Amino acid sequence: MDVSARNRSTEKPKLANRVGDRVSMQPRRDNSLLPKSCGNCRIRKIRCDKTSPCSSCQIAHLSCGASSNITPVESHPTADSASPLAQPALISSCEENDLSLIRESLTEIKDRLAKLERTCQPHKSPFEVSVVTTERNASSNLSAAFRNEPSFNDQSAQASISAELSAEEANISEFDQEIQSSLTSLKLRLQAQSHPSSANNLYFPCSSARPTTQSVELPPVPIVLAALRKATVKIPPVILHNGFRDHLMLETLCKKVYFPTRSCSKSEVTLVNGLLFYLLDNYSKENDSDLSSSDCATYARLCEKNFCDGIQDYECLVTPTLENIQCLMMGAMKAQSDARPALCWTLVSTGARLCQSLGYHRESSVSLDSPPLADAKRHVFWMLYMIDKIMSLNLGRASSFPDYDIDVEIFALNQDLRFCAWDKVLVAFIELCRLQGQIYDELYSARARRELPEVRARIIEQRASSLFAWHVGLKKIETHDAQDCNDLNLIIQWSDFFYYYILTLLYGAKTSPAAATHISSKRYQAARMALQCHVENCTQLSADKTPSMRVYSGWILLFSSFAPFLVVFTHSIASHSQQDVFLLSQVLKTLEAGRSISAATNRLYEDCKAFLRFATAFVGSTQNSFGSYNQEEDSVTFPLIGIGDYNTVMPDFDQAGGWEGMQDELQPMSAFLGSYIGENTLVNGHWNMDFL
């Protein structure tokens, strides 16, 4: 036999051995009668109770199947079956189920990963935006908290000075080294207290960690540059009307935010959004080739959302920085224009607390800064002071800015004639607000209520004289060189309404608390004059002067309590005066023309409409008034009665008179007059009313 034949004869057993080994590796049939775990539980590697179906599969909502065994190979494989080119698929039904479960699991994992990826991706705005990153701990003007003489820190500084003077006069040489060393240590200790300390941290150590950075979407750079170029030609109203000291403030902030050389603080980005919101909102109402009105409106809404989110952030409400206080001031103005007095009062009170924390109310603290920074601090302090004093009198609440603890000076007037007159008017309104604070403290506070009627009458005459002097001084301000002098002249002219409305509140506090509801002739005449001034102001504002109407409603109308309307309303139903009803109807027409400006103006219109409806029905009827009208003095007195006496003083009207259909809609007028416009009670107006 040759060698090739011997090689061919040895190849067949080797191949058969390899096939036999492969067959022997197949799983053998387990002839045990004990139940086995199902395929799902074996894959998931959990305990199976070996029932059919098992409890684990029932809970997981899976198809449970007992494992099937592979039928063992009982005969030796033939040459054909042993060939690697023709191997049968020896897969059990359990293995098929296992593969199906694996595929389902992989599909579920892929779906979850895709969903997680979509969630992690930043939200894509439907319009072009610029994204900036802010840092929570990057506030630019963090400083040590202000403390006055009674504080431990201030007392420590005084004690340190005493120790240093004593050390200079000491002549005991053996203790010189120890004295100098201890004195140096004391100075270092006190110097450390002048820097921000962890003791002033406004977070609890156990609170959840907050992200240190945050991404904010802003208008794109081309839109902002176009708005800034337009603003450099003419100072925008948001800067001019709000009296910001630095007219390049918006440009400077935009450079910090859009082209940062350091990390931007959350307060800086919020302030930029607030300024851009008012600027773009104003430009959206103008036709400009460089700025699309639709783009301005779109990005104004974006900035508005960012600004509102920012000022409602915990850090803005508690961290004492100049930027945060400026944001709170602008937020209070927005809340006031949106008819949200509770929010406005909260933001102003928060701003007052932060001002006190930084010592903005004390000249000794503010004067340490550079003149531009000191002026910025004075401005934001006095703007918040103004809003607070107005709301204090309108809402009948104590001010958050006590005058007895304030000695900071008012900001310096701008030397540029274009802006000097605006500053003078702003300073004049600050003085008016100081006078309003005095009216509340001396006539409406709890202490003032205990004063004798003659003392209160003397205070009223003094404050009326001061109010008259203020009104005369405001009219003397020269405005012909001012930017937007027409708007400034309108504001000065509109001050007539302010003068008479405050005079109405002043004369409403004349009698003692025990007196009945009384409207004197002076109070009524002041109220009529206020409403007549309002009608004249609105008549001059034609329909095409929407921006001027916005300024009037925002700065004059909504910063008053509109108490004169209620006083004239009360006088009309007591005296059955058709002239009063006619005046009230004229006022309502002016309010209807401007009701679309804001939610606040619409709410004021609806409130006054409800009162006018009652006055029209009552005066047109033949019913006698339930009050006492003195025709000679032109005064009205209502008895203080309860709601239970309502039916005895207000009999039913005939259907033709219009009264019967209104009884279920209006509250008892006697109770209303006793609690709402009674003597020594502030007429809160639309700020505190919520009619249905």
CATH assignment of the domain containing 50: 4.10.240
Name the CA radius of gyration of the chain, rounded. Answer: 40
Of 359 and 622, the one with more pLDDT: 359
Q: How confident is the model at residue 196 (pLDDT cuts 50, 70, 90)?
A: low
Beta bridge partners of 130: 218
Would you mind telling me the total number of residues written for the chain in this entry? 692
Question: Would you say residue 81 has pLDDT above 80?
Answer: no
Greater model confidence, 281 or 337: 281
Q: How far apart are CA 528 and CA 586, in angstroms?
A: 12
Angle between helices 341-358 and 322-337 (to 10 degrees): 160
At residue 86, the pLDDT reads: 43
| Cβ 69 vs Cβ 100: under 8 Å | no
* Residue 262: exposure state from Cβ atoms within 10 A (0-12, 13-18, ≥19): exposed
Terminal Cα-to-Cα distance of the chain (whole angstroms): 118
The reply to whether 426 falls in a domain is no
Instruction: Report how far residue 512's alpha carbon sits from residue 82's, in angstroms, rounded to the nearest whole number.
Output: 118
pLDDT of 570 reads: 87
Q: Are 387 and 675 in contact (CB under 8 A)?
A: no
Q: Which of 620, 617, 592 is nearest to 607 (CA)?
A: 592
62 in any annotated domain: yes
User: pLDDT: is 77 or 44 the higher one?
Assistant: 44
pLDDT of residue 120: 59
Does 60 reside within a domain?
yes
Query: Is 280 part of a structural domain of the chain?
Result: no
Highest mean pLDDT range out of 25-29, 428-432, 561-565? Answer: 428-432
With 60 as the cut, is the pLDDT of residue 352 above it? Answer: yes
Q: What is the pLDDT of residue 360?
A: 94
Question: Where is average pLDDT lowest: 201-215, 236-250, 558-572?
Answer: 236-250
212 or 507: which carries more pLDDT confidence? 507
Cβ atoms of 88 and 81 closer than 8 Å: yes
The answer to whether residue 434 is domain-embedded is no
Rounded-to-integer distance, Cα 9 and Cα 6, Å: 5
Phi-psi region of 197 (alpha: psi -120 to 50; beta: other; left: phi over 0): beta
- Read off the pLDDT of residues 569-592 as tens digits, 9 standing for 90 and up: 988 888 888 999 999 999 999 888
Confidence of residue 79 (pLDDT cuts 50, 70, 90): very low
Q: Is the pLDDT of residue 213 over 60?
A: yes
Confidence band, pLDDT 50/70/90 cuts, at residue 125: low
The pLDDT value recorded for residue 587 is 93
- Whether 45 maps to a domain, the answer reads yes
Mean pLDDT lowest among 75-79, 98-102, 437-441: 75-79
Number of domains the chain is built from: 1
- Section 673-683 average pLDDT: 45
- Please check the confidence at residue 537 and state whether its pLDDT lies above 50: yes
Strand order in the sheet with 213-218: 213-218, 130-135, 264-265
**pLDDT over 80 at 218, yes or no:** yes
Domain residues for the domain of 54 are 40-68
Strands laid side by side in the 635-638 sheet? 517-519, 635-638, 628-630
Mean pLDDT along residues 132-156: 60
Q: Is residue 296 part of a domain?
A: no
- Beta bridge partner(s), residue 215: 133
Strands 264-265 and 628-630: unpaired
Average per-residue pLDDT in the chain? Answer: 76
Query: Is residue 9 very low, low, confident or very high in pLDDT (cuts 50, 70, 90)?
Result: very low
56 inside domain? yes
Helix, strand or coil for residue 636?
Answer: strand
pLDDT level of residue 328 (50, 70, 90 thresholds): very high
Query: Cα–Cα distance between 345 and 335 in angstroms, integer?
Result: 9
CB 321 within 8 A of CB 142: yes
Q: Are the CB atoms for 256 and 268 separated by under 8 Å?
A: yes
Give the 3-state secondary structure of residue 119.
helix
The DSSP call for residue 451 is: S
